[in-house]
Amino acid sequence: MSRTRTALLSALALVAGTAGAAVAAIPQDVGALAVPCTVDYKVQNQWDSGFTAAVTVTNNSAAKSSWSVKWSYAGNQKVTSGWNARISQSGTAVTAANESYNGTLATGGSVSFGFNGSYSGTNALPTAFTLDGVACNVDDGGGGPTDPPEEPGDRVDNPYAGAKVYVNPEWSAKAAAEPGGSRIADQPTGVWLDRIAAIEGVGSGMGLRDHLDEALEQKGSGELAVQLVVYNLPGRDCAALASNGELGATEIDKYKTQYIDPIAAILKDSKYAGLRIVTTVEIDSLPNLVTNVTPRATATANCDTMKANGNYIKGVGYALNKLGDAPNVYNYVDAGHHGWLGWDDNFAPSAALFKQAATAEGATVADVHGFIVNTANYSALKENHFTINDTVNGASVRTSKWIDWNRYTDEQSYALAMRNQLVSIGFGSGIGMLIDTSRNGWGGTARPTGPGATTSVDTYVDGGRYDRRIHLGNWCNQSGAGLGERPQAAPVAGIDAYVWIKPPGESDGSSTAIPNDEGKGFDRMCDPTYTGNPRNNNNMSGALANAPLSGHWFSAQFQELMKNAYPAL
Ligand code: BGC
């Protein structure tokens, strides 16, 4: 899988200034429901010359197959780039029309889109909107029919609280067979359903029922959470090659009927009703539709294809809907990591896309229990030697090469901010975050013990950072990485657990091309001699040599992860 960074910032995001989270609401003037439509326009983020806004439109009249929303600005606001709608502006009048993939708007249904804009003076909120020429009510954000439904009563708030977590016997055996491996072989790790055959079991390997039966054994009379990774979208991992997977870009029906439906059927078996089943849903998919598409320099043809055909959104929506039917399933959607989505022009647009997927194909936000960050990535949990607000000789650390205008320095601050963002656009206020800490420890002898020299922002950040990668966009078998925090429930408010979803010791991708029947290509980000691409700003890959195919056991990496563990073993 790829943990693509994205990238280069739009000119807009480069504008320095206050990062205020100005959330504005408009007074509601008429009673709800009688009106044909409701519009909720929120400024989510605003700085001295720009802003990010999110708009949700609810249709209370006949179902539509296309739509167009209009408003006017009182000031000099200009929409500069939008997402999930085609937005145009003439003078002060703005028109937002559906994209090819979100034209359908049922009676009672809603659709969300967003945009970045510029302004000067006052960013006054528009006060009147139309949907297809008909005046809408303006939502004040409180109460009303668009609020997310409550979660079913039998789900607990945090499935990890008071529960053991399933130890995958297959991973455990490989870990225990390594010198020193018994120190961690009893840790819980993710069970990856990375192809259709994994449901029954690949070769003589365990299938999904085998794992769930074993989970019942491990559970005994207490509570137990089992962690599944749902990872088989059509056109999978569109910005990289190491984990492209078995389904072609158009094979959404196969995904539904031969992959999700059989998994959902097993999870709904009453035999497993006592297990807390955590699913992490489709890593490395949705954010690619924001960061690795035309016109960005980081675009790939495959990501353009997946954006145009909508199959990531449909697949994720379908998975959430079907898996969410089982009351003991806890869906966590992948939300990238700070080194991918921590830039202003990626952050809110990605959250908006998660919402779109979570309300596609019959899914609702109630099907989403939370989100997971840093899956299979290496971003440090907490950088203690600098904060995003630090300056050196008057220059913000955001201007350093390493941070490069990102808003976050580490995964924990990113996870909590993303959680707030997601709640602000309509996900339940009870959602919890998971952080994959399997390989983000960065201990060992290279770990800095204090801040870097204050000669420049670069010496300060580079001298102090735990994350020793050559570039934040590097994602494959990173040299110098160590095991991170051991899995644990509820480490801080808002975080449901630190988890080991990527099983330590399993490769991210081969360092040279290896023929195979697993749909795994060769991505040069896994080749230590590779000099990079726009997604890692043309830096060396930092990958370990002699790596096997993604998912295969990589003993040398496992040993290095133990050696550099932080906390140490
Ligand atoms: C691979 C999967 C594997 C997973 C866990 C992914 O990169 O594509 O096949 O199961 O990593 O190691």
**Residue-level pLDDT at 140:** 54
Kindly name the residue from 237, 410, 496, 523 that is annotated as catalytic: 237
In the residue annotation, 284 being an active-site residue is answered as yes
How many Å lie between the centroid of ligand 1 and the Cα of residue 40? 40
What residue's CA is closest to ligand 1, atom 2?
551
C-alpha of residue 411 to centroid of ligand 1, in Å: 21
Cβ-Cβ contacts under 8 Å for 270 (sequence gap 6 or more): none
Q: If you take atom 5 of ligand 1, which residue's CA is the nearest one?
A: 551
In the set 390, 458, 467, 508, the catalytic residue is: 508
How far apart are the C-alpha atoms of 130 and 69, rounded to whole Å?
6
Residue 192 assigned ligand-binding role: yes
Asked whether the bond before 145 is cis by omega within 30 degrees of 0, the reply is no
Whether residue 503 has its Cβ less than 6 Å from ligand 1: yes
Residues of the chain where predicted confidence (pLDDT) is lower than 50: 2-33, 141-153
Take atom 7 of ligand 1 and give the residue whose Cα is closest.
1
| 47 annotated ligand binder | no
Residue 369 Cα to ligand 1 middle (Å): 23
Mutate which of 378, 506, 523, 558 for ligand 1? The one with the most ligand atoms within 8 Å of its CB, which is: 506
Q: Which atom of ligand 1 is nearest to the CA of 195?
A: 9
Q: What is the pLDDT of residue 106?
A: 86
| Domains and their CATH numbers in the chain | 32-138 (2.60.40.290), 163-382+409-442+479-520+548-558 (3.20.20.40)
- Pairing assessment for the beta strands 68-72 and 137-138 based on DSSP bridges: unpaired
Q: What is the pLDDT of residue 99?
A: 87
Q: Alpha helix locations (H) across 280-410?
A: 288-291, 301-309, 311-323, 338-341, 344-358
Question: Rounded to whole angstroms, how far apart are CA atoms 13 and 535?
Answer: 17
- Catalytically annotated residue among 40, 139, 284, 404: 284
Q: Is 343 annotated in some ligand binding site?
A: no
Distance separating alpha carbons of residues 124 and 108, to the nearest angstrom: 28
Confirm whether 508 is a catalytic residue: yes
Asked if residue 508 has its Cβ within 6 Å of ligand 1, the reply is yes
pLDDT at 134: 86
Cβ of 421 less than 6 Å from ligand 1: no
Q: How far is the CA of 192 from the centre of ligand 1 (A)?
A: 7
User: Do the strands 432-436 and 50-59 form a parallel or antiparallel pair, or are they unpaired?
Assistant: unpaired
pLDDT score of 151: 43
359 touches ligand 1 (CB under 6 Å): no
Contact 45, 343 (CB under 8 A): no
Residues contacting residue 71 through CB under 8 Å, at least 6 positions apart: 39, 41, 93, 94, 126, 128, 129, 130
